[in-house]
Structure 1
């Protein structure tokens, strides 16, 4: 005898994906009085430093759920960036005029940011986050969406929602169930990143450092607790077997920048390739995509997670209005805004990668002259606003 299907729980918004973007959207909705459930496939608590940059527009958005202050209480604050090459300083970029509210970029381990966002969601809706739940099916109707999944012990679960949001990442199940394709491209660049005890002297400890020497870029950013994140271009095409190695990365950093990085202090190590992807459609009926489910960009520049948070900040009032009025949501206008923001961020990330590629002779000299000029002209303030995502 076939077991009966579970009776569907009812909610106003179901968010699929309980990472930093999905939990933030859930918290925004809950604080606005919307009944929300967040399904998250993973059962483990968030761990690892992963994405670290939190830009001023995201901090402004966090204030709506009282998350900005606890984030800033733990974060390191980056007030300036310094460009270097071949042992020389090319120029300095100040964030002092990049934002009226937050004239800096904050850095914090992703798991610590996620913990704060989860706490804000729990404060407004203690039972909203459901971990260990995997989405398996969606059925759309004119005035609701039925979602089916499996729970932590493999038991069937079901929710009937006025709206469903796919915040489930680059390999989005929501997007696949909707039959939405993606466009984009893969890049050949390979990077390795790692967190180490900060070896930088004096005032450099509070600065983002970008070395664009002939062998390729090395970026670094201060982290809380006396640590520093380093990201280095290591090649193009297929990766070497021993490329993601703390000793090798520390040696690369020493060779290119002179920083005496201690390989034994490494607390995180990861290699990654770069790709750019965008969903062909952002919304279908009462289902909408946000974050990496809608657009994936290069991690170079640290904009991807922030784009997702700003998607959530844009979408939350639309969902709140839709719940209250019964409307299906103005997805075309939302899609145009957010896809335009993603395209702009992707172009900026591509420019960053181009500036940080390997170069020799006149090409390297031209790059250094360009950076010196940009960082000395009044355009430097506009460049700071660009990197701080004030356009987003």
Structure 2
């Protein structure tokens, strides 16, 4: 997969996650020479962000890859949250009712590893794209004629000269650090864990599934028998993660399971003080971090890429960085008032009194969904079509 052609190009993208791959694919489909540098040996191995909302599906259609996603993903036109403790539907979001404003009125559930693999394979088919793994960028500097990057590759130290550089290198972004920007915001007190588990003969079970016995846990099916568990917990909770996973599986499914992957993390809401400087731009988690509640983080990053691509093409065509700065300011404002505010509200609701009020809150929200204008507004917000 590694390519040893020359390093100079028009656009260099640091990071080959979903955001970097979408941006690179979009530019390459327009004939722009683009180089992607990824520090890891390949795309993601684990599921990470599995939710793909309608607005993102429209972008994937524009990139020519939506058919592969529809073939591999679980399609959810009616999102119905099941309360397994009380054997009832707690909240229902009929996304299919958005068919008048989108061609994809549904949620797609697909492990991020599969998302990245589809995008990677599509990118490698583009003659103007080069994708290099095992390449760790060490410095990014603005030059008179563009941007210079220094990186370590398997064959040694290398340099790349480009007109525009984009940091799609995640929450610990080196590119953001290099332009002197800070990721400001807050870290929530509560923590969370994720786990992917295989449960035999579970493909028929409705999802998402919720339990509060003995603690709040949510299960989302990602493939036939593989489920994502979401496990919020209070700071200082001394219960081992393996025990939390076992208790959640027994409450949600009552079946034997095999643990595939697990991770504990903190929840953040943060925004970079700068989205661009000169010909260096940020997108995705490098520019903004939001709580995973609502499943909008990866989607917001892919939307970044869809908006940044035309700005890059305009900057290259006009020979000015002005379109990049316009993208940076407008997108920063949109993220602050949009996805960050929305996911913050959802997170605070989820964590209110350590999740003990979630049934009441979701029941009230479900009552609100009975009012057509309110339902419409909520569905558009969830689908990221506002």
1:216 Cα offset (Å): 5.8
Asked if residue 265 in structure 1 is aligned to residue 275 in structure 2, the reply is: no
1:225 aligned counterpart, secondary structure: coil
Residues of 2 paired with 1:151 and 1:360: CA distance? 46
Q: Give the RMSD, CA atoms, in angstroms.
A: 2.7
1:90 Cα offset (Å): 3.2
- 1:159-174 pair list within 5 angstroms: 159-174=160-175
Residues of 2 paired with 1:119 and 1:55: CA distance? 22
The aligned counterpart of 2:241 is 244
TM-score using structure 1 length: 0.87
- 1:178-217 pair list within 5 angstroms: 178-197=179-198, 204-205=205-206, 207-210=207-210, 213=212, 217=216
Closer, same or farther: CA 365–167 of 1 in aligned 2, 3 Å: closer
The aligned counterpart of 1:389 is 384
Closer, same or farther: CA 278–271 of 1 in aligned 2, 3 Å: same
Q: 2:40 aligns with which of 33, 39, 42?
A: 42
1:195 Cα offset (Å): 2.4
Residues of 1 paired with 2:6 and 2:378: CA distance? 51
Q: Give 5+ residue unaligned stretches, structure 1.
A: 1-6
TM-score using structure 2 length: 0.88
1:349 aligned counterpart, secondary structure: helix
CA deviation vs aligned residue, 1:279-301 (integer Å, no higher than 9, x gap):
10100000000000000111111
Q: 1:302 aligns with which of 278, 289, 295?
A: 295
Residues of 1 paired with 2:149 and 2:193: CA distance? 39
The aligned length equals 376
1:18 Cα offset (Å): 1.4
The aligned counterpart of 1:143 is 145
CA deviation vs aligned residue, 1:312-350 (integer Å, no higher than 9, x gap):
100111111222221224234312332233222122222
Contact 2:34 2:129 in 1 (8 A): no
- 1:3-152 pair list within 5 angstroms: 9-83=7-81, 87=86, 88-99=88-99, 100-125=102-127, 128-152=130-154
Residues of 2 paired with 1:237 and 1:361: CA distance? 13
1:228 aligned counterpart, secondary structure: strand
2:96 aligned counterpart, secondary structure: coil
1:79 Cα offset (Å): 1.9
CA deviation vs aligned residue, 1:12-41 (integer Å, no higher than 9, x gap):
001111112111111111111101101111
Residues of 2 paired with 1:214 and 1:137: CA distance? 49
Closer, same or farther: CA 201–187 of 1 in aligned 2, 3 Å: same
Contact 1:80 1:208 in 2 (8 A): no
Contact 1:180 1:279 in 2 (8 A): yes
The aligned counterpart of 2:228 is 229
Closer, same or farther: CA 200–372 of 1 in aligned 2, 3 Å: farther
1:46 Cα offset (Å): 2.6
Q: Give 5+ residue unaligned stretches, structure 2.
A: none
Contact 2:82 2:208 in 1 (8 A): no
1:299 aligned counterpart, secondary structure: coil
1:356 Cα offset (Å): 2.1
Contact 1:164 1:287 in 2 (8 A): yes
The aligned counterpart of 1:375 is 369
2:301 aligned counterpart, secondary structure: helix
Asked if residue 292 in structure 1 is aligned to residue 293 in structure 2, the reply is: no
Contact 1:215 1:359 in 2 (8 A): no
The aligned counterpart of 1:3 is none
Closer, same or farther: CA 197–327 of 1 in aligned 2, 3 Å: same
CA deviation vs aligned residue, 1:56-91 (integer Å, no higher than 9, x gap):
111111122211111111001122223455514334
